[in-house]
């Protein structure tokens, strides 16, 4: 017999289950390697990225995400590599994903390159039943899961120039069910399809504008579209806003402390019924890059 535990867990996890099984980022344009392995090495520099996201602050068991990644081209070759770690916590569930990326770049014109990437991921999923109120603690289907392992693979393509980018990707091809019961799945990883694009417009000597769009398609869920508009002022200050269709409005800000160091912040305001139960979502990140001046004189705007 299914008890209130299943309802409680699924009630929280399903909020992000179909619509957001993969980690969600407001400032996805700076963390593209997590969803598209073709991005690895595309900036032409050694790039290190760290992010913390607290979602739906004030709601018990709300998601928190910590992400760390690095990616770089391999010398003067046509290859790039990346390595990333993502930790997601949702209620009693805790998931760690460690991924390795390999990309290959093809010159398709004087200005454009096409990158083809593959991703390999090791997922470790845990659930702590002690954080829940269980009617029958001896029921075998309500036992803890501790670092339940599942492998996955993904792929993506990424077309880009100095001002334009577009990509298609599936970070995880394998669908995975995690629960010791044939009829109940607390966490079921489904295929996620991502499409991303953006363009940088020069509005003047010291102003650049970048509209961008991220579309996510998950089986059994409506298409989710994130649209954003960012402005870069004097190659230093970035200000922007975004809208997640039928979900949230966002504001973003970033500052280029030096050619190597960039810091950013984002805040989401819910537009769903959840807005009555939380005070929004906060996201902060730091990016550090080692530049080869012969390749890049100033940081690229994506």
Q: What is the pLDDT of residue 291?
A: 73
How far apart are alpha carbons 4 and 11 in whole angstroms?
10
How far apart are alpha carbons 29 and 174 in whole angstroms?
25
Domain residue extents for the chain: 4-290
- For the domain made up of 4-290, give the CATH fold: Porin (2.40.160)
Q: What is the pLDDT of residue 143?
A: 64
Q: Whole-prediction pTM value?
A: 0.85
Q: What is the pLDDT of residue 295?
A: 52
Structure tokens at 75: 């010398």
- Which of the residues in the chain have pLDDT under 70? 1-21, 131-144, 177-189, 292-299
Q: What one-character-per-residue DSSP string does 94-146 give?
A: EEEEEEEEEEEEEE-SSS-EEEEEEEEEEEEEEE-GGGS--S-TT-GGG--EE
Residue for token digits 């001046």? Answer: 293
Q: What is the pLDDT of residue 178?
A: 59
Q: What is the pLDDT of residue 3?
A: 39
């Amino acid at each position: 017999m299914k008890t209130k535990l299943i309802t409680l867990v699924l009630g929280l996890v399903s909020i992000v289950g179909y619509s957001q099984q993969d980690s969600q980022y407001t400032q996805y344009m700076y963390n593209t390697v997590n969803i598209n392995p073709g991005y690895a090495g595309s900036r032409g520099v050694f790039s290190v990225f760290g992010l913390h996201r607290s979602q739906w602050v004030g709601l018990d068991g709300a998601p928190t995400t910590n992400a760390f990644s690095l990616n770089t081209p391999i010398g003067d070759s046509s290859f790039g590599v990346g390595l990333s770690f993502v930790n997601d916590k949702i209620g009693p569930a805790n998931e760690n994903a460690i991924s390795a990326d390999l990309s290959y770049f093809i010159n398709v014109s004087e200005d454009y390159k096409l990158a083809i990437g593959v991703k390999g991921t090791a997922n470790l999923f845990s659930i702590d039943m002690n954080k829940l109120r269980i009617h029958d603690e001896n029921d075998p289907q309500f036992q803890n899961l501790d670092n339940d392992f599942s492998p996955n693979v993904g792929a993506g393509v990424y077309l880009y120039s100095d001002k334009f980018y577009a990509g298609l990707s599936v970070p995880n091809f394998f669908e995975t069910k995690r629960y010791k019961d044939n009829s109940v799945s607390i966490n079921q990883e489904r295929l996620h399809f991502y499409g991303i694009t953006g363009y940088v417009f020069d509005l003047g000597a010291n102003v650049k504008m970048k509209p961008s769009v991220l579309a996510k398609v998950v089986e059994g869920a409506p298409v989710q579209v994130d649209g954003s508009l960012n402005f870069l002022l004097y190659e230093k200050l970035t200000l922007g806003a975004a809208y997640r269709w039928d979900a949230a409005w966002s504001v973003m800000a970033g500052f280029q402390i030096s050619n190597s160091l960039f810091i950013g912040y984002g805040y989401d305001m819910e537009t769903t019924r959840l807005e009555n139960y939380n005070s929004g979502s906060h996201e902060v990140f730091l990016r550090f890059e080692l530049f080869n001046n012969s390749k890049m004189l100033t940081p690229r705007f994506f």
